[in-house]
Each structure stands twice: as structure tokens, then as C-alpha cells.
Amino acid sequence: MDVRPSTAQSVVPASKDVPARRLPPLKFLIAGAAVLITFAYLVSTAMGASAVYYLTVSELHAKGAAAYNTPVRVGGQAANGSISFDAGTQTLRFSLTDSSGTMPVVYTGVVPDMFGYAKDGHYQDAVVEGTLHPDGTFYATQIIVKHDANFAAADASATAQAGAGAGQSKP
């Protein structure tokens, strides 16, 4: 009689000799989840803050009293004949208009170079950032001038003649 163990018995180790696979401690799983949630929150917040949204003049008017003294961006076009600049106080006044509304805007500070130039008889579009006051005047803290890639201001003599003819001058 052969007393040797069979091949199957010698190849398969006993189950108590096989180490069980251990999961990481629960505190590491919770910490990892917290890091991922924080990262996702920061990314979504940064993307939302960098997006530049603005209302039209008529959308701002539609908000009524809820829009008063709330920081907002409003887009439109400077109305023809509305631009006036006081060099002594560095105050720019103009009307911002869209297809269905107009509002007076007051801005104090350095006026962007491209603001007030007309192309094809129309002023460049602008986005103003600031607050609407109950008297209906928008007090801007920043003006962003929008223009296409092909826009180029006319030479200085042509701009001066066009401004003098229309009662306007570059602020």
C-alpha cells in the first residue's frame, strides 16, 4: 500500500494558510471621499465664477425692484448722441440700449480706449458691471468694450471730424 499523499492534496494548500485580502480601514475611505468631494466642489465653483454672464437692458428692467443695489453685468450698445465725459471729475455718462430698452449709465474712472468709437454708424457693444439704483441710473464700476476681430479705429483726424460733426467726442 502506497502511503504517499495524492497530488491533489499536495497542490492545494490548506485554507487557513491563504491570507485573506483586507480592505483599507474605513477612515481612509472616508478621507478619500472627502478629498474627491472637495476637489469637485472647487472645480465647479471656479468654472462658475469664470463664466461671464450678463443681462440685457430689458432683462434688467424686467427684474424691477429686485435688481436694485445688486451687483450685475449688463450688455448693450451706447446710444447715439448720449456719450458725455467730464474730464475734471473723470465721469462718463451715456445711455446703454438694446432692442427694447434704454438706461442711463454713470461711470467714474479710466475709460477704455475703444469705448465711443463708431463703426458703420454704430457704437461698439459694451458690458457694464455695477449696480442699478432706484432712480433708474446704473452706476458702473467697470466697462468692457466688445468688438469683432476686424475692428480698427479710424485715424485720429477722421475720428475728430466724425465726432465734431455728430456733436460727440471721444471721452
pLDDT tens for 102-120 read: 999 999 999 988 887 766 6
One domain, residues 100 and 151:
yes
pTM for the model: 0.58
> What is the domain range of residue 138?
55-166
Q: Is 109 left (phi over 0), alpha (psi -120 to 50) or beta?
A: left
Residues in the chain: 171
Q: What is the pLDDT of residue 162?
A: 44
Look at residue 7 and tell me if it is in a domain. no
Q: How many CB atoms lie within 10 A of CB 162?
A: 16
Residue-wise pLDDT for 44-65, tens only, equals 877 765 565 888 999 998 998 9
One domain, residues 84 and 104:
yes
- Total structural domains in the chain? 2
Can you tell me the distance from the alpha carbon of 155 to that of 132, in angstroms, rounded to the nearest whole number?
36
Supply φ then ψ for residue 88, to 5 degrees. Answer: -65, -40
One domain, residues 41 and 69:
no
One domain, residues 62 and 136:
yes
pLDDT of residue 136 exceeding 80, the answer is: yes
Average pLDDT, the chain: 78
Residue-wise pLDDT for 29-39, tens only, equals 899 999 999 99
